[in-house]
Every structure is written in C-alpha cells, then in structure tokens.
A = this chain, B = another copy of it.
Amino acid sequence: MEYRFSESTSRFQSSAVRDILKLTQGNAVISFAGGLPAEQFFPLEAVKEAFSRVFDKGNGCLQYGLTEGYTPLREKLCERMSRKGINATPDHMILTTGSQQAIDLLARIYLDPGDVILVERPTYLAALQVFQARGARVVSVDSDADGMLPEDLESKIREHKPKMAYVIPTFSNPTGKVWTLERRKALLRLCQSHGILILEDDPYGELRFGESVPAPTLFSLDEGPDGGVVVYTSTFSKIVAPALRTGWTIADKEIIRQMARMKQAADLHSSTMDQQALCRLMEHFDLESHIALIRREYGQRLQLMLTLLDSHLRDDAHWNRPQGGMFIWLELAHGLNAAELLKEAVREGAAFVPGDSFYAETPPGNTLRMNFTFADDETMRLGIERLSRAVQTCRSDLVRG
C-alpha cells in the first residue's frame, strides 16, 4: 500500500550528514563525530555488582514499576543534587530514558505547534529535532563565549513571545562553552518577568577539567522547584554509562505530574532494571572518585587534541579551549566548507560532525564539532593527521577551483 506519513514526519530534515556518518560505522574510519564516552573508564565491575545486588532482592525486581521511576533512586538523586545546591523531593523528579526523553516529554506537554522556543546559536541538534517534530517555531538567540547576548534575547522575546527557552549553560553541546553568572542571571530575570519556561539541559556539568568552577546552575539560582521557571535535566550517561539510559528531571510538581502522564502513554516507564542497578551503584560505589578519574583522563585527552590541532590545523581553522564537557568547536578558515571537508575526511578515514546541524537557521557552513573523549591517544593522533590531510586536499581543491 501507499503509506501516508504524518506532517511532522516530513518536518524532519533529511540529513546528508547522517548518511555519510553511517558509512563510518563498523569500518576503519576514526570518528570524532559521536558524543561517546571513553569505554575504558566505564565502571564495569561496579555495574556488574550493582545488578547482582538487584537480583538478590528476588523476583519482584522484574515486575512493572512506577512511571515516575524507582523511588529509592529518586531519593538518592535528591540527596546528591542537594549537595550541588539543587533542593527537591522525589515528587519533583521523574526518571526518563536518558535526558533526551526529558526534552521530548517536556516539549510534548508544554509546546503546541507554532509555539516559539528560544535556543542558543548553535545548540544541541537532537533537541532541535524534538522541537521541529513538535511543530514548534525555533528561534536562535545570538550567543558568544559567555552565553546568550541579553540584548538579542530581550529583542527576540519582544518580537516572538516565546513560551520556552532551551539552554545548555555548562560545557555546552556543541561548543563546550560555559555561561558566566551574569548571563545566567540575565536569562533568568528576563524569563521570570515574561513567564517563559526554561529547560536547563545539564549532561556535562560534572565533566569539569580546569581549575575554575562554573557558575551555579540556573535551577539553583531560581526560586523553584515549585512555581519555578527552570526545569532541570541531567543524566547518568556521561558519569556512569549510556547503555543504562537513565536521566532525571527536576521541576515543579505539576510539571512532573504532566510529564508522567505523557510518559505513561509514551512507554509506561523506563527500564527499572537499570534504575534499580543505578540505585545499588550509588549506595555501594564511590561515584565521586569515579567522576574525578574521568575528569583527569578526559582533561588529558582534551589537552592532547588541542596540541594536535595546534600542530596540524593552526593555519586552517580556529577553535575554543573548553574547560570541560566532551567537545571542541572549530571554525574553518579560507572559505573551507565543513560538509565538503567531511566527505574528504571520510575518504582519508576520519569523521566529525559539520556544525550546520546545530543551527536552527542560517548555518554558516564553516563550523564543525570534534569529540575528544572517545578516542585513545594513538587513535586520536592518527585521526587528526588524517583530518589534516583532508584539509590540505580541500585547500588545494579551492585553489584549483
């Protein structure tokens, strides 16, 4: 039969980039594209032990669970978040299949087609996909290394009357930047006075390598959870492991209740095996030391990539020097185009994500995102050399063209 897909399906941009990146799977291409943690540092033994403790509790561990998530894990997370200045009870929290699902559920309960959501320029591409699938109108706010520019934010609020704003203020995806305290306060003040709900996406906040401590979360600067303007979400994917697919969201109780109702329709609940195991892990494993280990190792990988970029791409691009997170953000020089470069790079055996996918509108064509956490030192050296050769080929093509 001839299928008649919904309108929102056609709203998904077809992605030439995704097709190229698919070619990189399972072969010899060194990929800096994915936002993948380093597998070496996954706490396999501790996770194994945690699952074993779950099974010790007997058959009940395999039954259906609550839509809001395993209550003892929500309690543990509330304790941990309170040490970070975020105060909430389990009633203010819902567990989701990664924080990706939190973005989707909140968009579904809060945005109608045509509603405006403000985002950073650039921002996380899979959040853009959620808002586009929802039929929302996504408006980018001009942003620099310190966060959204308050003047542009204010003018976009007046022009577009947004209902929501989506931001990653700490070690953002894709740029790795950290908002200053002033910029955070400016966003909060404007959203509070215009009744705009903020989704603060914080998957990378713990991945801090430098000495300087980032400014407090928007959530902790707000007056929530109840009646607050900020919905906060984070995940175990970067600090324990992504396969466990467990994120959490903290917000006003009524927002959590509505997210739970939507989640009940979406999938009843997420894996309680994973949630129970993470609870046992938090009880019996030194998560703080583990995070300290990841910080050291990722910090070294970041330094290595910066050094390699300095020696190989100094004349062809410039980039930032993030203090945490998983990504470096590059701008190509000489009229080089990132999508063209990707094709050449894949031919050489290296991959990255061209930056255009991270823009809601008018992408610049010359930016790209490099992940520095996944590849080990030797692989990273080899990959950057390949990338460098691809850049040289593109440059000579430009000269010839």
Contacts and interface: CB of A to CB of B under 8 A. Distances in A.
A172 interface: no
B133 A262 contact: yes
A272 interface: yes
Contact of A64 (B36, B44, B104, B133): B36
Interface stretch (A109-117, A142-150, A212-220): A109-117
Contacts of A254: 3
Contacts of A252: 3
Contacts of A4: 110, 163, 195
Among A2, A3, A277, the one with the most B-chain Cβ atoms within 10 Å of its Cβ is: A3
A110 B62 contact: no
Contacts of A210: none
B265 A129 contact: yes
A237 to B, nearest CB: 8
Interface stretch (A87-95, A238-246, A314-322, A325-333): A238-246
Contacts of A285: none
A97 B271 contact: yes
Interface string A1-12: 111111111001
Stoichiometry (number of copies):
2
Interface string A196-227: 01000000000000000000000000000001
Nearest to A56: B48
Contact of A271 (B40, B110, B245, B255): B245
Among A8, A112, A241, A265, the one with the most B-chain Cβ atoms within 10 Å of its Cβ is: A265
A60 interface: yes
Interface string A229-268: 1000000010001111100000010110010011011111
Interface of A: 1-9, 12, 34, 36-37, 39-40, 42, 44, 47-48, 51-52, 55, 58-65, 96-98, 100-101, 104, 108-112, 115, 126, 129-130, 133, 163, 192, 195, 197, 227-229, 237, 241-245, 252, 254-255, 258, 261-262, 264-274, 276-277
13 contacts: A1-B197, A3-B254, A3-B255, A5-B258, A6-B115, A8-B108, A9-B258, A39-B62, A52-B52, A62-B241, A100-B268, A104-B265, A271-B273
